[in-house]
Structure 1
Amino acid sequence: MKVKYGAAWVGLTAAAMAAATACGSDGAKTAAETAGRAVDKADTVMAALTRATDRTQELGSAEVRTTTDLGSGEPVAMDGTYSWGDGYALDVEMDAEAVQMQELTDSPTVRTLFVDGAYYYDIDPQPAGPLEGKEWMKIDGSAVFGESGAAAMAGGAGEGSPADSMKGLKYASDVDDLGKETVNGKPTTHYRAVLDEKDMGKFKDAFKGADSMLNSGGASITMEVWVGADDLPVRLKQDFGAMTVTMDFDKWGATKDIVAPPADQVGDLTQEVKDAGLQQG
């Protein structure tokens, strides 16, 4: 069976990766080292962002509503659980038509897991080919991020998670306090930070690496975060060139465990996706 990938695997995996892009701190400069900044104000902002980062890391998981605009086509909405307490994992539902997977399932939504560095899509068993009689389609992260990016995403410290995205805020080249706003019915303080390529650490390979099938579309990432009174983010927005990802956090901690489907229910399309990516250049 020849699977029509189109934007299906690109949209799903790009959305999942971008929604939790990690910006590592290796070799980055601290905010106070940036010339021309109002030091007192910057220190206050960085202290607030550090508290929010630490709280996010501590809780280890969250229920999140994510919208990813890839710059073309319908934005991809993902609702579900993100976990980073013991490696990065997710369990979300997405609109099947928005990610062009309606040919693989009669359901209006597609359940998607990311576990141990691989994506699993809940589909209808197909009549022939590698998905014949299978309930799940598997695509390894290396087909999307390249080998180096996938190795980082599958790390044991939660790399790629919302917590790791928050870490990048502490090493941004530029930060601002944009004032008080109400988001999702909660009082928040709105912050903005710009991360240049030098601030991204090891995860820039996931965007720029020669073996990667994704590109951030720009040399910097603009991050906006709305932090509530409990020092936890209520909303996190990231702009990667033409791609924009917005995450709304509904519940923190004590979320369900995320495990891979039984092996006998899985059809692996990793190589086909890699081949399709090479053909697309």
Structure 2
Amino acid sequence: MTARRSRLLLSWALAACALVTAGCAGEETLRDTLAKAAERTQGAQSSRVSYEMRITSAGAPETIEFGGRGLFDYQEGRGRFTFDFSELGAAIGQSGGEMEIIYDSLVVYMKYPAITSSLPDAKPWISIDLRALDNTEGGDLGALYQLSGNDPTQYLTFLRGVSDDIETIGEEDVRGVPTTHYRATVDLDAAADAVPDEEAGTIRTSIEQLKEQLGDDSLPVEVWIDDDGLPRRTRQDITLEGPPQVQQRVTMELYDFGTQVDVEPPPSDEVTGLQQLLEESPQGD
């Protein structure tokens, strides 16, 4: 695999992961119900998470579908996920395979043999220190910024910017749990303004990156909320401006709230830092 193809596959995988979100009491409005989804998820401590992704690209012969699953502790900022990129790799003429991601607060670890196997003396894991992303050189890091939220469901926080034009679709079960299905639009500028200062760094950067890719400051979303106000499913159908233009559908489901999460970072002797990887990776074809 050439260096250019390796970086292309890495970029696709990171972007995919990044896009890797009820009833209510009192006087709470529909907008409040959606806007508080992130807060209530945090309050639930932890959950399992699954993703289904579908990508259609201009000029591509067919739609690419893939997914992933894992679990996350929202209080500690720790979790572990596995994604299967076999179909994605085949679409660009490469072996995709599985990618593992470990979230350990402000450090993300990625294990992706399709990339590291092509690099000399590469270690199994790549570490990404979120505090150092602004100072990292070596290419377009937009996908990394989107991946970088220490909470992989951070786009639930985007719902803080949900507008008032909320449509109630109806009652539906998600994994056997009764929910109400809503369709709404998020004002991304309002979402950025609503993020507390202590959470602002990577989330606001992710929002700016998303706005740039969308060519718009609004994001259509669908959310399924249960009787406790917890989001059980979210879906986004978005178009990313190219070239090439890409249509993406990302569906996320949250379940088994309160599940135990036991996650440890990989051994240090199995890890290469992102900056070191970029410095050592050849830049040619």
**Residue equivalent to 2:205:** 205
Give the match's secondary structure for 2:47. strand
Cα distance change, pair 123–140 in 1 and its aligned pair in 2 (3 A): farther
* Contact 2:35 2:161 (8 Å CA) reproduced: no
Give the match's secondary structure for 1:19. coil
Identity in percent = 23
Give the match's secondary structure for 2:100. strand
**Residue equivalent to 1:34:** none
**Residue equivalent to 1:264:** 269
Structure 1 residue 139, shift from structure 2 partner: 5.0
Give the match's secondary structure for 2:29. helix
Aligned pair partner of 2:142 in 142, 145, 148: 145
Amino acid at match of 1:144: L
Question: What is the alpha-carbon distance in structure 1 between the residues aligned to residue 121 and residue 257 of structure 2?
Answer: 38
Structure 1, unpaired ranges of 5+? 21-41
Question: What is the alpha-carbon distance in structure 2 between the residues aligned to residue 83 and residue 7 of structure 1?
Answer: 31
Aligned pair partner of 1:55 in 20, 30, 40: 40
Aligned pair partner of 1:98 in 81, 84, 87: 87
Amino acid at match of 2:142: F
Question: Residue by residue, what CA displacement relative to the aligned partner does 1:199-255 show, whole Å, maximum 9, x if unpaired?
Answer: 23154532545xx9x824543211211112233222111234333211012211233
Aligned pair partner of 1:65 in 50, 65, 68: 50
Structure 2, unpaired ranges of 5+? 22-26, 58-62, 134-139, 193-199, 240-246
Q: TM-score, normalised by structure 1?
A: 0.68
**Residue equivalent to 1:111:** 100
* 1:186-205 alignment, distance < 5 Å: 186-201=177-192, 203-205=203-205
**Residue equivalent to 2:226:** 228
Question: What is the alpha-carbon distance in structure 1 between the residues aligned to residue 236 and residue 190 of structure 2?
Answer: 15
Q: TM-score, normalised by structure 2?
A: 0.67
Question: What is the alpha-carbon distance in structure 2 between the residues aligned to residue 274 and residue 207 of structure 1?
Answer: 28
Question: Residue by residue, what CA displacement relative to the aligned partner does 1:90-112 show, whole Å, maximum 9, x if unpaired?
Answer: 4111214134299778xx53322
Does residue 120 (structure 1) correspond to residue 135 (structure 2)? The answer is: no
Question: Residue by residue, what CA displacement relative to the aligned partner does 1:117-154 show, whole Å, maximum 9, x if unpaired?
Answer: 434115388486141xx33244556363389x47x945
* Contact 2:108 2:148 (8 Å CA) reproduced: no
Matched positions, count:
243
Which segments of structure 1 move beyond 6 Å, counting only runs of 4 or more? 101-105
* Contact 1:84 1:161 (8 Å CA) reproduced: no
**Residue equivalent to 2:175:** 184
RMSD: 3.9
Cα distance change, pair 266–103 in 1 and its aligned pair in 2 (3 A): farther
**Residue equivalent to 2:125:** 136
**Residue equivalent to 1:251:** 256
Question: What is the alpha-carbon distance in structure 2 between the residues aligned to residue 222 and residue 279 of structure 1?
Answer: 39
Structure 1 residue 58, shift from structure 2 partner: 0.3
Question: What is the alpha-carbon distance in structure 1 between the residues aligned to residue 75 and residue 166 of structure 2?
Answer: 27
Question: What is the alpha-carbon distance in structure 1 between the residues aligned to residue 81 and residue 89 of structure 2?
Answer: 16
Cα distance change, pair 208–233 in 1 and its aligned pair in 2 (3 A): closer
* Contact 1:13 1:144 (8 Å CA) reproduced: no
